[in-house]
Amino acid sequence: MATKTVKRPSQGNELILGATVDDDEQNILQDDGDSDDKEVEEIMMLNLYNFDDDKMQNCRYILTSPRSLEACARHDIKPTELLYKSLSEVEIQCKEADPNLSYSQIYTNYRDMEAERRRKLKLCREERERMMWQENETIATDVVDPPHEEIKESGRTGKVLRKYSNDELERIVSEFRRESLPHSEQDVPQMIVKKHSKPKSKKQPARNRNSKVIKNRKKKLESINIGVPEKDRKIIELMLNRHREEEESDRVRRLANLNWEQQRLALDEKMAMNLNRKKEEIRESNRARLAAQEQQKAKVDYENEVQRKFKIEKIQEKDAKLAAITSAKQKLLEQQIQLKILQDQSKKKNQEYNLKVEEEYRNAKAIQNHLRNLRIEENARINRQIRSREDQLRIGANNLKSELEHDKKKYDNEMKTREDQHYLQNSIELKHLRADTNYKRQQQIKAEEMRAEIMKMQKQFRKQQETAKLMTEEHDEWLKHLQLEEDLKLEKAETIAALVKEEKRFRAKEQREARQAGQKLNMKKIKKQEELKQRYTTAQAMSKDRKRQQIAAAKEENLSKLRDTARATSLMRYKVKEMTAKSSIGILLESLGTDQHHNLSGKL
């Protein structure tokens, strides 16, 4: 982008000192009016101060200004190294190089890269400013040759001006300028004074005023008293008036140039302040964006940590519940085993009691048979014995009944809560003891019921063992399934992460290749535009050389005419001297005033 400059008054072929090479190129390209030149004009708008502007983001090039490219080349810096890289791009680049880098290390690398980029950008900008300074110094020292009319008009006094040396002419001109300026040059920067004070063109050294030829000629001319013609006097007055007007116009133009320089410096300072403010705003926005990203990442990490802890707690709680259920089942199984042992003991006691009762019953039956055998022989005795024996059996049964009731109460007290039904059956069996006819049947039924109960208990025990085994197997299978799911999730996450990483790396590679291809294409176009510009500059230089040669030829021709005119004037003066014997035109010039004569000599 061309540097904005303040418009100032210019005159003739005078160069504008504040214009940059970009401004000159834009003027040249606008004069051409060609479509290619317009494209070159757009390309030449990218320099070190606006290449990162938002308006230039869609441009195909990074830098197109010759000064900016030259400044980068002098410090061996590539234009791509001056581009800003965001934190996400640096993170992707660092992750591709080393996936184990932490966020703090990536942020440190980002700050170092940004500091290095700013340092290189500062070096290139300083070099560009230095190049502009040197070009401005070179332009400021160039002065356009005086017009042909002034050379022709100064031909009448060329002989008189050769009386002064080059140093004296410079001193006279500087004194006249100091006297004509209404303000002090101390208020103006020395750079501007240096630009507008001394011309670069050098004049031919004049003869020394004290040389013998000049002294003799001056004496001869002073000794002659000749009147100045009215035509020569009017010419001299016209030349003096023109000289005063030119000095006044030079003074006004010089003041305008000084004012323009001050305005340009103020505008440059304002642009620098705006640029610094914009950079500060960009830095603040980057800081805010980085802080927001860090806060968002911390929030995501905190949420992930909370979810992970919640899952771990849930798994631990589930394991604890499963362990509690397993322990409860184990305790229940132990209680059932203890109950089975108690039942076995009770059954054993019942069996012993039943055997004892059966033995007593058999003894009683044997006694009855014996009594039946003896009853035939001794009816009375047998009857008495039977009655006595029945009494004894009744007493024994009552005693046995009391003993059984005592045992029953004792056993009921021990197994009150667990064996109500069993004690009920025992009481029923005790009641059935009186029934002799139903004793065996009741014993058989009881034995069958006991066997069925034993088989049922065994079946329940086996079923409980199988249930516990199935639950244990299901728990193991559930743990294996859970571990398998976790392994699958972890493997899936690793696969997704690898795919995402590979996709990012492939995308970054494609972007890098596309950017490199674009840069190569841009460099080719820049080289093409530079070649066009070089050819155009060469053509302009050749045109300027031809114009300079024409001006030099015209100057030589004018000088030859001036020499012929001077010879003719000298001959005329000598003829007038011989004819009139009066003072020469030189004495008249001295009589008009030394200051005006010096000013005229300095101007010419």
Contact 239, 600 (CB under 8 A): yes
What the block records as the tokens of 532 is: 């066009």
Say if residue 123 is in the same domain as residue 16: yes
**Which one of 98, 123, 141 terminates a domain?**
141
Say if residue 176 is in the same domain as residue 132: no
Contact 151, 555 (CB under 8 A): yes
Cα angle 264, 270, 271; round to 5: 90
Say if residue 117 is in the same domain as residue 164: no
Say if residue 124 is in the same domain as residue 152: no
Range in 25-29, 114-118, 308-312, 462-466 with the lowest mean pLDDT: 25-29
* Predicted model pTM: 0.23
Contact 8, 256 (CB under 8 A): yes
Predicted confidence band of residue 118 (pLDDT cuts 50, 70, 90): very high
Q: How far apart are CA 145 and CA 192, in angstroms?
A: 21
Split into its structural domains, the chain has a count of 2
Q: What share of the chain is helix, strand, coil (3-state, %, to 5)?
A: 80, 0, 20
User: Is 70 exceeded by the pLDDT of residue 170?
Assistant: no
Higher confidence at residue 207 or residue 123?
123
Domain assignment of residue 415, yes or no: no
Q: What is the pLDDT of residue 338?
A: 82
Phi-psi map region of 65: left, alpha, beta (phi>0 left; psi -120 to 50 alpha): beta
The range of the structural domain enclosing residue 77 comes to 1-141
The helix/strand/coil state of 569 is helix
Say if residue 110 is in the same domain as residue 184: no
Q: What percent of the chain has pLDDT over 70?
A: 68
When pLDDT is averaged across residues 183-207 and rounded to a whole number, the result is 44
When pLDDT is averaged across residues 586-602 and rounded to a whole number, the result is 50
Q: How far apart are CA 592 and CA 411, in angstroms?
A: 165
Say if residue 126 is in the same domain as residue 167: no
Predicted confidence band of residue 153 (pLDDT cuts 50, 70, 90): very low
**Which one of 141, 175, 208 terminates a domain?**
141
Say if residue 290 is in the same domain as residue 244: yes
Range in 56-65, 190-199, 454-463 with the lowest mean pLDDT: 190-199
Q: What would the pLDDT profile of 338-358 be if each residue is shown by its tens digit?
A: 888 888 887 888 888 888 888
Three-state secondary structure readout of 444-508: HHHHHHHHHHHHHHHHHHHHHHHHHHHHHHHHHHHHHHHHHHHHHHHHHHHHHHHHHHHHHHHHH
**Which one of 99, 116, 141 terminates a domain?**
141
Say if residue 136 is in the same domain as residue 153: no
User: Is 50 exceeded by the pLDDT of residue 157?
Assistant: no
DSSP classification of residue 225? B
When pLDDT is averaged across residues 322-348 and rounded to a whole number, the result is 83
Say if residue 80 is in the same domain as residue 128: yes
Domain assignment of residue 256, yes or no: yes
Contact 96, 508 (CB under 8 A): yes
Domain assignment of residue 425, yes or no: no
Q: What would the pLDDT profile of 560-576 be if each residue is shown by its tens digit?
A: 888 888 888 778 777 77
Q: How far apart are CA 383 and CA 480, in angstroms?
A: 84
Rounded to the nearest integer, the mean pLDDT of the chain is 73
Say if residue 170 is in the same domain as residue 274: yes
Dihedral sign for Cα 312, 317, 322, 323, please: positive
What the block records as the tokens of 121 is: 């950008």
User: Is 80 exceeded by the pLDDT of residue 27?
Assistant: no
Q: What would the pLDDT profile of 236-257 be if each residue is shown by its tens digit?
A: 788 888 888 888 988 898 898 8
Q: What is the pLDDT of residue 115?
A: 92
Q: What would the pLDDT profile of 280-320 be if each residue is shown by its tens digit?
A: 888 888 888 888 888 888 888 888 888 888 888 888 888 88
Say if residue 22 is in the same domain as residue 163: no
